[in-house]
Amino acid sequence: MRKIWWGLGAIAVLAVAGALTLQFAISHNGPAVLTAVDQLAGGSSGAVVRANVATGEHPEQKVVVWGPEQRDPSAEPLPVLLFFHGGGWHSGDPVDYGFIGRSFVPEGFIVALAGYRLYPDAVYPSMLEDTARAIAWTREEIAQYGGDPDRITVAGHSAGAYNVVQTALERQWLGRHGLSPDHIAGVVGLSGPYDFYPFNREPSKNSFGQAQDPEATQPVNHIRADAPPMLLIHGEEDEIVTPRHTRELAKRLEDVGGRITKYVYAEMAHNDPIISLAAPWRSSSDIDDIITDFARSARIGAETSVPVQGETR
């Protein structure tokens, strides 16, 4: 019996050590680790990389397209989820976010993972220029991969959430490509910073400190009632980007009659919403289902009535 207890104790110690090792790995190279774990835990689910395309001369300007392994060319085009990574505008690579493709392709989406120039090679407004460039490329080219250009939902985590929300609110960035935010079917922001001036943290100082009109860099200062429908998700325990950002943006949009859905999750920290999209954590919350339902119903020109969800989940 003593040997059994020793064995169980050893297993428990190894489990704790493994969990701590995984947490350490995620904190240092999170997306790549999540993608590796996701593939081991969930398999490919029939999702494969269809293309890795340059959208500019810089190597960080690119789009990685995921789609189903088998698809009938005559089938109806699929809704598109165009995702922008986080990383404080100084790190991140869409290649490392394969778990997003494996999460949403089986739900009936074409997934495009977009990159943008990073600090120190680029500062504001490069991330918005590149976000608009990726949206324009997706609208122009995604049909050849089975996607519907009128059903593009743009999504992002952390810095990527800033990119998509600001591009959807401030018309000039898409306007440079002959488009407008009206060509975006929906916007999803996970743990996003939307009201961070004055710049008091290193990433924001580096990427925004030289802006001639710093207040114009903030999404909360570009509120429009006719903005695309938005889904904002945050963790109550987020200490990197506090949930105040999501609450303030949602309130201002609601005040002008904007179409906004908000969820704040108790006990979730900054990276938990994005971690919940990878296997084996997908069943730990309903975030993947909420994003799927929102993006599946988003369509340009649709009369969308989106309620505000004010409660903490």
CATH code for position 206: 3.40.50.1820
Whether residue 209 is contained in a domain is answered as yes
pLDDT of residue 45: 82
CA-to-CA separations, 40 to 44, 67, 102, 110, in angstroms, rounded: 9, 19, 12, 22
- Are 113 and 66 within 8 A, CB to CB? yes
Tell me if the pTM is above 0.75: yes
Sheet strand arrangement including 78-84: 47-54, 62-68, 110-114, 78-84, 147-157, 186-190, 230-235, 260-265
pLDDT of residue 30: 83
pLDDT of residue 302: 74
Separation between Cα atoms, residue 238 and residue 93, nearest integer Å = 23
pLDDT of residue 11: 34
Tokens 């689910």 -> residue: 45
pLDDT of residue 12: 36
First to last CA, the chain: 44
- Are 113 and 94 within 8 A, CB to CB? yes
Whether residue 217 is contained in a domain is answered as yes
Would you give per-residue pLDDT tens digits along the chain (313 residues)? Answer: 444 333 333 333 333 334 444 455 555 568 999 999 999 998 778 999 999 999 999 999 999 999 999 888 888 999 999 999 999 999 999 999 999 999 999 999 999 999 999 999 999 999 999 999 999 999 999 999 999 999 999 999 999 999 999 999 999 999 999 999 999 999 999 999 999 999 999 999 999 999 999 999 999 999 999 999 999 999 999 999 999 999 999 999 999 999 999 999 999 999 999 999 999 999 889 999 999 999 999 999 876 545 555 556 7
The domain tally of the chain equals 1
Whether residue 107 is contained in a domain is answered as yes
Whether residue 214 is contained in a domain is answered as yes
* Domain with 222 in it: 30-297
| Listed residue (109, 44, 70) closest to 288, CA to CA | 109
pLDDT of residue 26: 54
Whether residue 246 is contained in a domain is answered as yes
Whether residue 7 is contained in a domain is answered as no
Whether residue 2 is contained in a domain is answered as no
Q: Which residues pair with 113 in a beta bridge?
A: 64, 83
